[in-house]
């Protein structure tokens, strides 16, 4: 377990990063998360992320990986007082995932303003799950079955690398890796998004989508529609398109603190939603030597 001084170093990095995005940082708000998950943070991926949309303005996400031995992050969040017990069927989704499939690692999405938001279960890199198998879970809402055929027709079945559960918003999302240019080029992605009831992306967003390797559809619980679609790409370039057109993203990329060695590592994301599109940037503060590289920007 990290020494208290190491957790203090992490907290100082949270404070420093929060200032970059004008997010209020309260020790009383953040330290309970360090208390709850601190024993795993000496060898975890730790990333900070920010976004340009209304959903993320004034917020800093403090995300980190957890080894399989850490167990269900939702249960730990309850025990640590980070979240009230959720009286909703969504609370049963992660346990069924854990019981039915091999889970290789977990992730936590924690907002320094909004608190514990999401737990993520990652499948082994060599064993991504199929959507068909996921639709057979009793706890999966019918939204996935509604869209599984169209994803499969695009060659994306069998490429689900993780599933995330947002307990506060009662939403969930899939992480689908291995996008191809045939899927992300404008003449393919525009009708795909239109068929999902999502708006046509801007020219900047279309350009970014063309570089992406993964996407994250987000679903609500009581509707079959896709709430938003996030596309992402990983790079060491602090001047990728979102940083060039969004000054706040560029500032974050250039000034984010880091303790890992080697080239900087960023995950840029672009999200298409009804009434809004926005970019996000996740920057790695610490790189794990034990847990597979899986922590991603929140959708």
Q: Does some domain include residue 253?
A: yes
pTM: 0.93
**pLDDT higher than threshold 90 for residue 203:** yes
Say whether pLDDT at 268 is over 80.
Answer: yes
Domain membership flag for residue 294 = no
The SS3 assignment for 50 reads strand
Query: Average pLDDT, whole number, for the chain?
Result: 92
pLDDT score recorded for residue 291: 56
CA distance 139 to 207: 36
Flag whether 44 is in a domain: yes
Residue 296 lies in a domain: no
Q: What is the pLDDT of residue 295?
A: 59
3-state secondary structure of 261: coil
Give exposure, 98-107, as e/b (b: 16+ Cβ within 10 Å): eeebebbbbb
Domain residues for 115? 4-286
Average pLDDT over every residue of 83-95 = 95
Q: Does residue 297 belong to any structural domain of this protein?
A: no
Residues 6+ apart with CB under 8 A from 24: 18, 58, 112, 113
Determine the pLDDT at residue 138: 94
Residue 273 within any structural domain of the chain: yes
- Is residue 291 a part of any domain in this protein? no
Query: Model confidence over 136-190: pLDDT tens digits?
Result: 999 999 999 999 988 988 889 999 999 999 999 999 999 999 999 999 999 999 9
Phi/psi at 223 (5° precision): -135, 150
Q: What is the pLDDT of residue 70?
A: 94
Do residues 161 and 153 lie in contact, with contact meaning Cβ atoms separated by under 8 Å?
Answer: no
Name the domain count of the chain: 1
């Amino acid at each position: 377990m990290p020494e208290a001084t190491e957790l203090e170093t992490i907290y100082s990095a949270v404070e420093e990063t929060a200032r970059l995005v004008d997010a209020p940082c309260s020790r009383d708000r953040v330290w309970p998360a360090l208390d709850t998950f601190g024993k795993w943070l000496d060898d975890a991926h730790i990333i900070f992320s920010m976004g340009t949309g209304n959903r993320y303005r004034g917020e800093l996400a403090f995300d980190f990986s957890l080894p399989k031995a850490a167990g269900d992050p939702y249960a730990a969040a309850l025990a640590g007082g980070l979240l009230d017990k959720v009286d909703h069927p969504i609370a049963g989704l992660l346990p069924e995932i854990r019981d039915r499939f091999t889970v290789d690692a977990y992730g936590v999405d924690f907002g320094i303003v909004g608190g514990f938001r999401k737990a993520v279960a990652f499948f082994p890199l060599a064993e991504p799950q199929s959507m068909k198998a996921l639709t057979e879970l009793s706890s999966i809402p019918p939204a996935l079955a509604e869209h599984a055929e169209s994803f499969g027709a695009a060659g994306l079945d069998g490429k689900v690398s993780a599933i995330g559960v947002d307990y506060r918003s009662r939403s969930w999302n899939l992480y689908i890796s291995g996008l191809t240019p045939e899927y992300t080029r404008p003449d393919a992605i525009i009708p795909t998004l239109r068929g999902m009831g999502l708006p046509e992306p801007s020219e900047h967003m279309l350009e970014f989508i063309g570089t992406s390797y993964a996407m994250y559809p987000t679903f609500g619980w009581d509707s079959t529609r896709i709430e938003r679609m996030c596309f992402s790409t990983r790079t060491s370039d602090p001047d990728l398109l979102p940083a060039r057109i969004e000054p706040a993203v560029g500032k974050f990329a250039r000034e984010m603190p880091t303790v890992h060695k080697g080239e900087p590592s960023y995950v840029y994301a672009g999200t298409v939603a009804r009434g809004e599109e926005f970019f996000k940037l996740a920057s790695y503060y610490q790189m794990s030597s034990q847990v597979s590289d899986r922590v991603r920007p929140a959708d």
